[in-house]
């Protein structure tokens, strides 16, 4: 790459559009054979961002022909009532995916609720069984943001095998599962976190950088190795209301082979992979006899 060139944009919106188009065809084929995939979302309380996320998920489902239902519960809902709802959804054969929108209001404990979800319906891939399957390299439902990140890297035909990948952030939601997915694809993976001693040096060695921290522009453009692929998962709001990622975008793009924008990179892919997981869960659970 010459200095006048810039890394290509890993356009999450465009890839999401393409993948959703393919998924729509698959859903039509399922519906024609009597199987309409269904996603049930549980929303407790009035958290404004959660309301928006849930609305977006519902709209995306409807556009593709996935049946979607939102269960809205009061902030004061007792833990036992929330858990009973999950048990009921587990028993309902028309429910293929169950998603509990986080965070839950104060006073409710998310952990036992997530563990109650039938792993076969756990479209967020956060159940311990599914996390364990991922660690063991076995099939199961996998978390949406890591899947979306991998799909973005694959979209440019990049060969992950044997490359050095650095994952910044070690959450159960993003950092740890994306590191496992990279490892499955034969990358040599380093995980960095808040106690990492020399983040610049670690990132500087990486052919693939995944940043999932939640700290604006923590990863500097000058750290990025020439020709690296950079996936910025972070979404941070500036004082002026605009969004910025965990990576310094412009400087990084000058060095990178490819880089995701924020917004418009990983974000649209996360919902797409939720739709994908819902269809996958439906096929695995009740579509064995179908022709898709
Ligand atoms: P988290 O807070 O659970 O985890 C953050 C991680 O960053 C921790 O493991 C911590 O060790 C690490 N960290 C903190 N400070 C660090 C430092 N100085 N150097 C290196 N590592 C450091 O966050 P999360 O849920 O993994 O989310 C991370 C970011 O990704 C957030 O901005 C979140 O909004 C965003 N996110 C985006 C999507 C999407 O669809 N685009 C989905 C999930 C999360």
Query: For residue range 48-62, what is the model confidence (pLDDT) as tens digits?
Result: 999 999 999 999 999
Other beta carbons within 10 Å of 193: 13
- The residue whose C-alpha atom lies closest to atom 23 belonging to ligand 1 is 213
Give the bridge partners for 269, in sequence order.
none
pLDDT band at 4 (very low <50, low <70, confident <90, very high): low
Interhelix angle for 266-286 vs 12-32, to 10°? Answer: 20
210 C-alpha to center of ligand 1: Å?
10
Of the residues 13, 56, 103, 214, which should be mutated to test ligand 1's pocket, given the most ligand atoms within 8 Å of the CB?
Answer: 214
Q: Is the Cβ–Cβ distance between 227 and 256 less than 8 Å?
A: yes
Query: And the tokens for 82?
Result: 């929330």
Whole-model pTM: value is 0.96
Q: Which one from 40, 101, 131, 207 is the annotated catalytic residue? A: 101
- The residue whose C-alpha atom lies closest to atom 32 belonging to ligand 1 is 214
Residue 134 has pLDDT above 80, yes or no: yes
Encode pLDDT of 228-273 as tens digits.
999 999 999 999 999 999 999 999 999 999 999 999 999 999 999 9
Percent of residues, the chain, with pLDDT higher than 70 = 98
Give the bridge partners for 98, in sequence order.
40
Q: 280 φ, ψ to 5°?
A: -60, -45
Q: Where are the domains of the chain?
A: 35-118, 143-268
Q: Which one from 124, 207, 232, 246 is the annotated catalytic residue? A: 124
Q: Is 93 annotated in the active site? A: no
Which CATH superfamily groups domain 143-268?
NAD(P)-binding Rossmann-like Domain (3.40.50.720)
pLDDT band at 1 (very low <50, low <70, confident <90, very high): low
CATH architecture of the domain formed by 35-118: 3-Layer(aba) Sandwich (3.40)
ω into residue 263 within 30 of 0, thus cis?
Answer: yes
Q: Which one from 40, 57, 163, 176 is the annotated catalytic residue? A: 57
* Site of tokens 């996360």: 270
Encode pLDDT of 184-214 as tens digits.
999 999 999 999 999 999 999 999 999 999 9
Percent of residues, the chain, with pLDDT higher than 90 = 96
pLDDT at 230: 99
101 C-alpha to center of ligand 1: Å?
17
pLDDT band at 5 (very low <50, low <70, confident <90, very high): confident
Of the residues 235, 262, 267, which should be mutated to test ligand 1's pocket, given the most ligand atoms within 8 Å of the CB?
Answer: 235
Encode pLDDT of 136-176 as tens digits.
999 999 999 999 999 999 999 999 999 999 999 999 999 99
DSSP state of 179: H
CA distance 205 to 228: 9
At 79 the three-state DSSP class reads helix
Report which ligand 1 atom has the smallest distance to the Cα of 212. Answer: 28
* Site of tokens 């890394």: 7
CA distance 85 to 204: 48
Q: Is the Cβ–Cβ distance between 86 and 117 less than 8 Å?
A: yes
215 C-alpha to center of ligand 1: Å?
7
pLDDT band at 288 (very low <50, low <70, confident <90, very high): confident
Contacts of 249 (CB under 8 A, 6+ apart): 221, 232, 259, 261, 262
């Amino acid at each position: 790459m010459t200095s006048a060139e810039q890394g290509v944009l890993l356009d999450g919106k465009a890839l999401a559009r393409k993948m959703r188009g393919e998924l729509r065809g698959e859903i039509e084929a399922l519906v024609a054979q009597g199987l309409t995939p269904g996603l049930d979302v549980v929303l407790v309380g009035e958290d404004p961002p959660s309301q928006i996320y849930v609305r977006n998920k519902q709209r995306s489902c409807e556009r593709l022909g996935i049946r979607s239902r939102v269960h809205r519960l009061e902030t004061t809902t007792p833990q036992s009532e929330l858990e009973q709802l999950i048990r009921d959804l587990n028993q309902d054969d028309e429910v293929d995916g169950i998603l509990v929108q986080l965070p839950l209001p104060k006073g409710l404990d998310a952990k036992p609720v997530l563990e109650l979800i039938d792993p076969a319906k756990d479209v967020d891939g956060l159940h311990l069984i599914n996390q364990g399957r991922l660690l063991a390299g076995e099939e199961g439902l996998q978390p949406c943001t890591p899947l979306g990140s991998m799909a973005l890297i694959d979209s440019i035909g990049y060969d992950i095998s044997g490359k050095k990948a650095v994952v910044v952030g070690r959450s159960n939601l993003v950092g740890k599962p994306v590191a496992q997915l990279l490892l499955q694809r034969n990358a040599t993976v380093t995980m960095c976190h808040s106690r990492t001693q020399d983040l610049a040096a670690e990132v500087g060695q990486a052919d693939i950088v995944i940043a999932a921290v939640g700290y604006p522009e923590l990863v500097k453009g000058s750290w990025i190795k020439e020709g690296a692929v950079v996936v910025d998962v972070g979404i941070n709001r500036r004082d002026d209301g605009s969004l910025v990622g965990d990576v310094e975008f412009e400087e990084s793009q000058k060095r990178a082979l490819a880089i995701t924008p924020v917004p418009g990179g990983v974000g649209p892919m996360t919902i797409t992979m939720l739709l994908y997981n819902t269809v996958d869960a439906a096929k695995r659970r009740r579509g064995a006899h179908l022709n898709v």
